């Protein structure tokens, strides 16, 4: 993509550290080191090649453009699962404020190189999504969760809802993102979310309507999914002790 008139299709992934600005300089430097180590570890364990990603580091953030041929189903599925596992292992040893929590967002679309970076709706979408209020609040309200994964509606539709990735549809709940020029649905997965909490929904339907009945069904589905996630977590804890960090 050396010629600015050329474009390619990419998964656009944005990762950000929750609460980074509250840490001192020494802690921020360590967070940056650990963040890269975790992303590299998750990629190796998920069998995806981060060396082929076009990465734009920004301190506690990373924007990565992932070529369409680089197993996007593994990035959306196994990579996110392995990143959650890496965070879990790290936070088992962390004390208080040393705990690391991440927000991750993925959009997909055409991207081209520009004089000072990259341009494309997917680049903007991933950046807006990772910093949006619903995504921040999703992690804030879940004290035991280390990660929130936010997918654009198109990514969710094409990869999760189609059954093409390791993550399942009923592990996600829908939110409405209204950030600057973005006003659209997105889908969130919060590992270790409280099973007794209803999903975040936007524009709730009136009580007694068919839509409200459907929403109640969604709440039940979400509770079942998060309980399944807890069972998965317990099994994961038993099997990751021999894994390097």
pLDDT at 207: 46
**Could you tell me if residue 231 is inside a domain?**
yes
Helices first, then strands: H and E counts in the chain = 7, 8
Q: Which long-range contacts (CB under 8 A, 24 or more apart) does 56-60 make?
A: 56/117, 56/118, 59/20, 59/28, 59/32, 60/16, 60/17, 60/20, 60/28, 60/31, 60/32, 60/35
Neighbours of 81 (CB within 10 A): 23
**Could you tell me if residue 245 is inside a domain?**
no
Alpha helices by DSSP H, 48-155: 72-74, 80-93, 121-130, 133-140, 153-155
Over the stretch 184-232, which tens digit does the pLDDT of each residue have? 999 999 997 654 344 434 444 444 544 444 334 433 333 444 444 444 4
Please state the pTM of the whole predicted model: 0.77
Share of the chain above pLDDT 90, in %: 61
Range of the domain at 129: 8-239
**Could you tell me if residue 2 is inside a domain?**
no
Q: What is the total count of domains within the chain?
A: 1
Domain with residue 110: its CATH number is 3.30.70.1230
pLDDT at 134: 96
Calpha distance 28→98 (Å, rounded): 10
pLDDT at 83: 97
**Could you tell me if residue 111 is inside a domain?**
yes
CA-wise closest residue to 176 among 142, 122, 132: 132
Quick one: average pLDDT of 236-243?
A: 41
Over the stretch 51-107, which tens digit does the pLDDT of each residue have? 999 999 988 999 999 998 889 999 999 999 999 999 999 999 887 678 899 999 999
**Could you tell me if residue 1 is inside a domain?**
no
pLDDT at 68: 85
**Could you tell me if residue 20 is inside a domain?**
yes
Residue 78, CB half-sphere, CA atoms under 13 Å: how many?
13
Over the stretch 109-118, which tens digit does the pLDDT of each residue have? 999 988 888 9
CA-wise closest residue to 7 among 106, 107, 121, 105: 121
Over the stretch 161-190, which tens digit does the pLDDT of each residue have? 999 999 999 999 999 999 888 889 999 999
101's CB contacts (< 8 A; 6+ apart) are 17, 18, 19, 87, 139, 145, 146, 147
Q: How confident is the model at residue 108 (pLDDT cuts 50, 70, 90)?
A: very high
């Amino acid at each position: 993509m050396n010629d600015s008139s050329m474009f390619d299709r990419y998964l656009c992934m944005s990762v950000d550290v929750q609460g980074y600005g509250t840490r001192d300089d020494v802690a921020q430097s360590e967070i940056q080191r650990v963040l890269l180590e975790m992303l590299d570890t998750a990629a190796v364990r998920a069998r995806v090649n981060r060396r082929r990603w076009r990465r734009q580091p920004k301190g506690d953030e990373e924007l990565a453009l992932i070529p369409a041929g680089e197993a996007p189903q593994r990035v959306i599925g196994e990579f996110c699962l392995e990143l959650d596992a890496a965070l879990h292992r790290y936070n088992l040893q962390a004390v208080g404020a040393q705990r690391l929590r991440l927000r991750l967002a993925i959009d997909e679309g055409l991207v081209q190189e520009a004089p000072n970076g990259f341009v494309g709706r997917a680049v903007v979408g991933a950046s807006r999504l990772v910093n949006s209020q619903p995504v921040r609040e999703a992690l804030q309200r879940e004290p035991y969760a280390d990660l929130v994964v936010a997918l654009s509606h198109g990514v969710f539709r094409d990869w999760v809802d189609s059954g093409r990735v390791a993550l399942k549809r009923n592990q996600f709940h829908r939110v409405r993102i209204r950030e600057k020029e973005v006003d659209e649905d997105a889908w969130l997965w919060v590992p270790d979310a409280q099973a007794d909490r209803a999903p975040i929904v936007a524009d709730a339907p009136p009580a007694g309507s068919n839509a409200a009945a459907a929403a109640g069904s969604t709440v039940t589905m979400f509770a079942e999914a998060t309980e399944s996630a807890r069972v998965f977590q317990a099994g994961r804890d038993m099997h990751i002790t021999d894994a390097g960090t």
